[in-house]
A and B are shown apart, each in its own frame.
Chain A
Amino acid sequence: MSSQEAAVAAATPGLVDPMRLAARWRSAAEWRKVDEELDGEPEPSHLNTINSSGLFHIVSTDKLSVQYVGIHKHGHDVGTVQANCPAPTKRFAYYFEMTVKDAGVKGQVAIGFTTEHFKMRRQPGWEVNSFGYHGDDGYLYQGQGKGEIFGPKFTTGDVVGAGIIYASQKLFFTKNGTVVGTVSVSKDVKGPLYPTVAVHSPNEEVTVNFGKQPFEFELENFINEERKKQLAVVENQFLPPHLSHWIVRSYLLHYGYEDTLASLDIATESNPSLTKRTTVDEQTNMYALNHRKVLRQLIRNGDIDTAFQKLREWYPQVVQDEMSVICFLLHSQRFIEYIRAGHLEEAVMYGRAELARYFAVKAFANLLEDIAALLAYNEPAESCVSYLLEPPQREFVADAVNASVLSTNPNSTDSESCMYSTLEKLVRQLTVCTLDWRTLSGGQGEAFYLHRELRSRGGVKRSSAYSD
């Protein structure tokens, strides 16, 4: 909770607190920032030159290439280098590649993952908590000096890759754009995994690609296929028949989208399994349906005066307290509508008469400041507070009014139900479940975010463009 929201929660102890819907009226820019910060993690971008094996390798100045400069006498003079930070975990998968520039005298180059305190003079895979795919034998080494038959050998000119799929706890390795094999990560591996490469004989040189250059491997296709496997498990869950229909219906009822609801009911009239079912829940949601629809329309059309008048007439208790959140939001919106119409003088007059009193309330300060700022711009629609002039702001006020009207229902049992539709409660539950599951799973994997889920549409398109 932001400090602003906390202040709001403390300031308005009433039954319904429409300001809690406030997270929605963030401006587009603010929302972008929120989105970027969600699960934002540092990503490996270059090789770590501090945690070094010492004398056996040199890293290029761009920190993307490593070359062996030792003599190679035994197993403790490997030149192993980790990425500058561990692989990010709050996602579906992570992947990186390396190109073998020169296989050197013995071709003992390797790619894999290691944990923080790995001994940099050993090959990845030779020590516990490490994994390595080695070029000289094509073997996979995991936690011991003895490898297992895994994939083809690789040498000068080859591009090899290593990746992690968090949901299935698997590592996978590729050579020249093709998966050569996968291996399950044992539960004993503790701690973040660092992308790691190694060189171990004179002249060996490799270059890493942490994603700045396009990968040789079609990572996106691979991820889509893996994701489909996960989704197949989800799709097998049993759902009561027509559940989606009832949830959509209850959403329309909750927000007072009465015309949509009527159309939907007409369309499903002939389907006996979808005819009206009046549960207690639906009856509660039917409350004041037509009034709520009218109020929403008025606010969406910017006719705040009439909305106010109707509220006074129908639900005087909602607008009785001039210092209430709902009065504040409606007055604010009236002010915004003056600005939108270009009536600046009226806006100023209205602000003095109806908004000045709210400056004393700390909880309203942020919104008030933004609203007042509208006056400062010649072109408010181009300003940093332009979000106030966009349709979602009206929708936000309409939703707040809707919640307040719902709260006047004598049969209404809890304020949560006035605030949130069934659909919203389910989405919130899903989000928290995935977030908590991840927290309890070492912070690994993807969480559910509704906006990302909706954005992914079309991202899973079939692609025939495989490179040879």
Chain B
Amino acid sequence: MSLSWIVLGQLESNESMSTSKKVITREEWERKLRDVKIKKEFMNKLVMNFLVTEGYVEAAEKFRIESGTEPDIDLATITDRMAVKKAVQSGNVQDAIEKVNDLNPEILDTNPQLYFHLQQQKLIELIRLGKVEEALEFAQDELAPRGEENQSFLEELERTVALLAFEDVKNCPYGELLDVSQRLKTASEVNAAILTSQSHEKDPKLPSLLKMLIWAQNQLDEKAIYPRINNLSTAMLEDPAI
């Protein structure tokens, strides 16, 4: 039996394994990519939506000038929103609450969970500063009544108050509440609530679109072998793995 026979046999078996999937060559795929019609202004809008939702107000203003893209929200409201976010991030929770109420009192009125989390954050900040008496008073007067209304609030309140039982709070089991990440979490919750109150989506569109790409490629994998983009940050087209 000659060698070429063996090679041929292998080829055949490879082929039968992949017959269920359509093979799309790189050339064919690139032609399809070129045929997609995309208007530049829509990509600009996507970028503007990102800058605005993430709160990059100066960048959004510059982008409006440089690209002529109109933002989908009044840029002045971003400044207010970012001021609230910044206040929470730097621990000035009372300041943040007042700013939210200046923006729109309905936000906290209609969102008891958010209001509770802000109060909880305020308590955390008091504990961080070692103001034990003030913290206890605040917890009893402001937070305990809310805990009675809602089981999950109560549990969170208990966890927070427990911080007071430890001298070395940083290393206690609830120490993570004192972490920056807790501030960021609360800040992003307020941020989302303000955006929703301005009938704007709370998340930018771009991350969803990127997730959609990952999902769409996985879906297509079941039916075809085609040039994928594995590294989204370079958008490099891989050769189809046949």
| A binding-site residues for B, Cβ under 8 Å | 1, 20-21, 23-24, 26, 31, 34, 231, 233-235, 237-240, 243-244, 246-248, 250-252, 255, 257-264, 266-268, 279, 281, 293, 296-297, 300, 391-392, 395-396, 399, 421-437, 440-441, 448, 450-451, 453-454, 457-458, 461
Contacts of B212 in A (CB 8 A): 234, 430, 448
Q: Tell whether, in the assembled complex, residue B226 and residue A436 are in contact, meaning their CB atoms are under 8 Å apart.
A: yes
- The residue in chain B whose Cβ has the minimal distance to the Cβ of A450 is B42
Q: Tell whether, in the assembled complex, residue A239 and residue B33 are in contact, meaning their CB atoms are under 8 Å apart.
A: no
Shortest distance from the beta carbon of B5 to any chain A beta carbon, whole Å: 34
Q: Tell whether, in the assembled complex, residue B234 and residue A281 are in contact, meaning their CB atoms are under 8 Å apart.
A: yes
Question: CA A199 – CA B139 in complex, angstroms?
Answer: 70
B71 interface residue, CB < 8 Å from A? no
From B61-69, B92-100, B105-113, B154-162, the one touching the partner chain is B61-69
From B127-135, B144-152, B165-173, B217-225, the one touching the partner chain is B217-225
Contact of A237 among B22, B36, B214 (CB under 8 A): B214
Shortest distance from the beta carbon of A13 to any chain B beta carbon, whole Å: 15
- The residue in chain A whose Cβ has the minimal distance to the Cβ of B207 is A244
Question: CA A267 – CA B58 in complex, angstroms?
Answer: 8
Contacts of A262 in B (CB 8 A): 62
Contacts of B49 in A (CB 8 A): 454
Contact with A along B208-220 (1 / 0, CB 8 A): 1111111111011
Q: Tell whether, in the assembled complex, residue A239 and residue B210 are in contact, meaning their CB atoms are under 8 Å apart.
A: yes
Shortest distance from the beta carbon of A297 to any chain B beta carbon, whole Å: 8
Q: Tell whether, in the assembled complex, residue A1 and residue B47 are in contact, meaning their CB atoms are under 8 Å apart.
A: no
With A257-B67, A448-B212 given, is the CB distance from A437 to B223 under 8 Å? yes
Contact of B46 among A31, A296, A423 (CB under 8 A): A423
Contact with A along B187-208 (1 / 0, CB 8 A): 0000000000001010011111
Contacts A422-B234, A433-B217, A450-B42 known; list 15 others, CB within 8 Å.
A1-B31, A235-B211, A243-B210, A252-B63, A255-B67, A259-B62, A260-B67, A391-B68, A423-B47, A425-B229, A426-B229, A428-B33, A433-B213, A458-B199, A461-B199
Q: Tell whether, in the assembled complex, residue B66 and residue A244 are in contact, meaning their CB atoms are under 8 Å apart.
A: no
Majority-rule SS of B interface residues? helix
Contacts of A243 in B (CB 8 A): 207, 210, 232-233
Count A/B pairs, Cβ under 8 Å: 185
Q: Tell whether, in the assembled complex, residue A432 and residue B205 are in contact, meaning their CB atoms are under 8 Å apart.
A: no
Q: Tell whether, in the assembled complex, residue B40 and residue A396 are in contact, meaning their CB atoms are under 8 Å apart.
A: yes
Contact of B72 among A21, A268, A281, A457 (CB under 8 A): A457
B contact residues, total (Cβ < 8 Å):
60
With A257-B66, A392-B40, A395-B68 given, is the CB distance from A1 to B214 under 8 Å? no
B138 interface residue, CB < 8 Å from A? no
B50 interface residue, CB < 8 Å from A? yes
B235 interface residue, CB < 8 Å from A? yes
Q: Tell whether, in the assembled complex, residue A248 and residue B206 are in contact, meaning their CB atoms are under 8 Å apart.
A: yes
Q: Which 10 A-B pairs have the closest CB atoms?
A: A425-B235, A263-B59, A433-B216, A237-B211, A263-B58, A264-B59, A260-B62, A260-B63, A440-B223, A430-B213
Q: Tell whether, in the assembled complex, residue A436 and residue B32 are in contact, meaning their CB atoms are under 8 Å apart.
A: yes
Question: CA A426 – CA B214 in complex, angstroms?
Answer: 10
Q: Tell whether, in the assembled complex, residue A399 and residue B62 are in contact, meaning their CB atoms are under 8 Å apart.
A: no
Q: Tell whether, in the assembled complex, residue B43 and residue A251 are in contact, meaning their CB atoms are under 8 Å apart.
A: yes
B115 interface residue, CB < 8 Å from A? no
With A263-B58, A422-B233, A425-B235 given, is the CB distance from A1 to B215 under 8 Å? no
With A281-B234, A434-B216 given, is the CB distance from A427 to B223 under 8 Å? no
Contacts of A240 in B (CB 8 A): 232-233
With A244-B204, A263-B62 given, is the CB distance from A437 to B219 under 8 Å? yes
